């Protein structure tokens, strides 16, 4: 599959900002890049709007996804409210017939369970540009309320960020019948076998010169 990962806001548009000046744009970038890496490790193709703190218009995002013929569009955001006690995860889709409706439900449920925040469920909107202008099935995740001081404080934790990213990644992969794999097994690649040790040394040195610093000679 080819996923389009859209990390909300960026650059001159920080998105929602917490009471301690935590920017939505920076948080979703951290989470999104971890999701990207995990999907790619599972051999999924990934296109992103941005991989640094730059601004891109809403039209740019949907147009880029459409031009790249992506299969699914996933937009990642943090929510905000004037009510500082507001808390919870919700996921937006264009309508109830969306092919990602069940995925949206699973994302909202899994994220809320993982980070112990209320599940606000699936929301419907035909107003969001990235849901309206994309030609592929799309959804928009509002992870939690950055305006809530407790949530904002949690976002300082690398483990909290990773928990969110891993939950999103595993839910997306499950949707396409894959899973996160990390078996902690190291695999070795043999690139030659020689009777003459000098030939083995030459190949070892060549491999090292190409950047394979862990190259070594073994006998059997």
C-alpha span between 153 and 20 (Å, rounded): 9
> What six digits make up the tokens of 75?
């937009």
**Contact residues for 31 (Cβ-Cβ < 8 A; gap 6+):** 7, 76, 143, 161, 164, 165, 168
Q: What is the pLDDT of residues 87-105, one digit of tens each?
A: 999 999 999 999 999 999 9
195 and 170 within one domain = no
**Residue 192: domain span:** 186-220
pTM of the model: 0.82
C-alpha span between 41 and 34 (Å, rounded): 11
196 and 129 within one domain = no
Cβ atoms of 129 and 58 closer than 8 Å: yes
Higher pLDDT, 53 or 206: 53
159 and 103 within one domain = yes
191 and 101 within one domain = no
Residue with tokens 């569009």: 73
Q: Residue 38 sits in a domain of what CATH number? A: 3.40.630.40
Confidence of residue 186 (pLDDT cuts 50, 70, 90): very low
Cβ atoms of 92 and 124 closer than 8 Å: yes
75 and 11 within one domain = yes
- How many domains does the structure of the chain reveal? 2
Give the percent of the chain with pLDDT over 70. 93
166 and 199 within one domain = no
Least confident of 68-72, 140-144, 148-152, 203-207: 203-207
Averaged pLDDT, 137-163: 98
* 64 inside domain: yes
* 135 inside domain: yes
111 and 209 within one domain = no
81 and 17 within one domain = yes
* 181 inside domain: no
Q: What is the pLDDT of residues 66-86, one digit of tens each?
A: 999 999 999 999 999 999 999
């Amino acid at each position: 599959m080819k996923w389009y990962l859209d990390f909300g806001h960026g650059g001159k548009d920080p998105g929602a900002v917490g009471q301690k000046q935590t920017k939505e744009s920076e948080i979703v970038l951290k989470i999104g890049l971890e999701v990207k890496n995990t999907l790619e490790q599972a051999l999924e193709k990934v296109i992103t709007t941005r991989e640094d703190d730059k601004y891109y218009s809403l039209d740019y995002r949907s147009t880029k996804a459409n031009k790249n013929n992506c299969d699914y569009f996933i937009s990642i955001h943090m929510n905000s409210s004037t009510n500082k006690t507001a808390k919870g995860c919700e996921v937006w889709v264009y309508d109830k017939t969306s092919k990602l409706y069940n995925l949206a439900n699973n994302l909202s449920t899994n994220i809320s369970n993982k980070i112990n925040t209320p599940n606000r469920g699936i929301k419907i909107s035909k107003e969001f540009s990235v849901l309206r202008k994309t030609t592929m099935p799309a959804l928009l995740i509002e992870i939690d309320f950055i305006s809530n001081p407790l949530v904002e404080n949690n976002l300082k934790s690398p483990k909290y960020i990773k928990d969110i990213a891993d939950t999103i990644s595993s839910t997306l992969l499950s949707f396409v019948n894959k899973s996160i794999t990390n078996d902690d097994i190291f695999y070795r690649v043999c690139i030659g076998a020689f009777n003459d040790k000098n030939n083995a040394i030459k190949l070892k040195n060549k491999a090292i010169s190409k950047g394979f610093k862990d190259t070594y000679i073994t006998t059997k």
